[in-house]
Amino acid sequence: MEPDNFEQSRRQMVEWQLRARNITDPDVLQAMAQIPRHRFIPEDGRHLAYEDRALPIGFDQTISQPYMVALMTEKLQVEPGLRVLEIGTGFGYQTAVLARLAREVFTVERLPELSLRAQEVLAQLGLLNIHFNIDDGTLGWPDHAPFDRILVTAGAPDLPTSLVDQLADGGLLVIPVGPEDAQTLLRVRKSGRELHREPIIACRFVKLFGRQGWSESDM
């Protein structure tokens, strides 16, 4: 059992931060009402788990604010039969939300310490439809492509071509793109050889490092 204050705080998060800001997808709202966000945050920060803010998880990485997780997931339009690629596992909170909605989630994280921690927590929560890879996320996971949906949880200077190539025809990709201090969250729909880009909201994420992202020298 979790402390009553966490359960109450999670209900308030859904009502005050998500519904009140026009998150309407009932499946997304239900998933975020059920998943214990505090389990994905280092213990010294758990009292802040359900506040409307990003929180540090170590290694210069963060867990996104609840509203941004909900918005990105809603825009991704995840359905039960779909296969989703997530770039940037972190501690696994966004992964858990996707796993509640999709048939399978394939998640890539470049930092072993984060991936292993996420694997532990997600297994404890009984989310077993997730496949993990520790690698350069900007290159995707070609062995399991194509993917119906792709979600990127860090900011890229431009669209990684590997991810576009691994997106199924008719698929959706949600990704923050732009310079470090002026990113735009984009939804990209693939239609044959055409890409339709829809700007969603201004945002600021940690950098997406890798061969088709930011260079390590930009850290």
Catalytic residues: 64
Closest by Cα among 20, 14, 149 to 78 = 149
What is the distance of C-alpha 16 from the center of its chain?
21
Cα 131 from Cα 142, distance rounded (Å): 13
Tell me, what DSSP letter sits at residue 155? B
What CA–CA distance (Å, rounded) separates 29 from 70?
8
- Smallest Cα–Cα separation from 157: which of 186, 180, 187? 180
Q: Note the Cα 106 to chain centre separation in Å.
A: 11
φ, ψ dihedrals at 63, nearest 5°: -100, 130
Q: Alpha carbon of 138 to those of 13, 17, 132: distances in Å?
A: 32, 31, 15
Contact 82, 99 (CB under 8 A): no
State in Å, rounded, how far the first CA of the chain is from the last one: 40
